[in-house]
Structure 1
């Protein structure tokens, strides 16, 4: 806290003789009896009357003195605005540093995964695909035609390993993302205006699922923007952790199941949760695998229907197809 000239607190002019300093506004001398404060940045003294500081605020500062780090005085003449701007910039910088620290930790985790995978390979732990290629090598040796085939199989092993590593990295990049489908999009505004509207809609969506505090770190529309195209592009949200992403997805489906509804600003009608979709951001390989699962699910449901099994209830749960219906005793299939 800056030195104070009043009632015997702080002396006069920080140790100078009485009247040795002048007010930075009126240029009159600052006496021991005057109510005045010294700016912490420019170190110039100011009469409280010149700075329009009332007695209540002045007395509060005098009572706390240098014992309370929450009270600071910056003169309105030249220091207050730069100080406020500096503090805001400092807070923003600290926030960016925290984000970078999080990304660095994520990169370290990915490197550790790759190192672990390479150690497993070095110790002889191979994937099923690699085991099949090793069997093929043995077969080639048995036929006496191993030379060219060995090189081909070795290349296949390297390619398979690189594909698996690339898939791991891609999943790592997407693990905090979630995709929202059906959320209205303005087509006639500038890019900045469209982003602001998307931020509003996301805020309303999070409010509807009672997770307003889970603000995404980033949001982005996927696909090419085209004026006049009525199709609404998916919106990708990036959260600060995989746990936050999972929490948002779970809350969305709970609210959607309850058929929640919340009013939306911006002239795009009501935000109806039952008309929206949400899912985690899958890699191309994960999307292919998921499509195969849904095809198998459709096949099993069709088989149950064709066989007259009215109790069957096939669902997809955690990457597996299950029949969750309870059959009457003696009818289980």
Structure 2
């Protein structure tokens, strides 16, 4: 791994002169042996295990993969490193060779050097395999980190969705408090486009509300459409459902609904059950009017009917039941909502 500059450094470092030896031994350990710049904590630097000299990885031609492998092996089994600047690896080979010749007493330097070279080649091959294993592990770690990031994002998205669902458990239930229904507005002909019909309906709604001195900002109208399917030659126009942003506007409209000219009627948006109850109350109210009661004396409140401020009856489970005082003064029977189309005289006779 040593270059020509490293070889020259090696020869100078092995000089037997006292001045050169003094320079190598007394040089600061935290200074790079090649560029003579200080090795900072953030620098990629490594210390030679023979001469104890610090050197930058770039200065000693050590790649990032080799640097990672040396750090990993050092944590596992005390890996050693010999620098190229002072040619420490060649020096170590020479020392080991001399020592083995001395121990064996055999003048066979070539055989010993050959054996060490083979061992070094095996170590280099093992080193390459370790580098490849470290690289594979790094790629697997990056893949796992990406998968972890995706899982965290999915968990966060699911958690946010659950929080919104928990915070709004009734978001699927329509809010009728901000709606009103307008009856009696004439419809456009069937030849009119849907867009024109909707524009005309909105214009008619604003004019109708303005006639009862209720000024609504058009931007506060969320939606406006007819209820039911259009039929040719229908006797009555379909009612218009008006969805508003503010319940305050709904309260203002309902407070002034009595000012509307006939046949225009404004009612709150009721559920099917509430409309069924209202139908029973209106039929009973009409029966009272036909029986001779004054319209002004009849009042409807919630599910009840009052005549002259006295309870006449109420709707319970879709059936109109008379109060005790009314039942004692009349032989009228409870009227079921399922028989509301029959005359009241037939219900009494049954």
Whether these two folds match at TM > 0.5 is: no
Structure-2-length-normalised TM-score: 0.35
Computing the radius of gyration from Cα coordinates, the structure with the larger value is 2
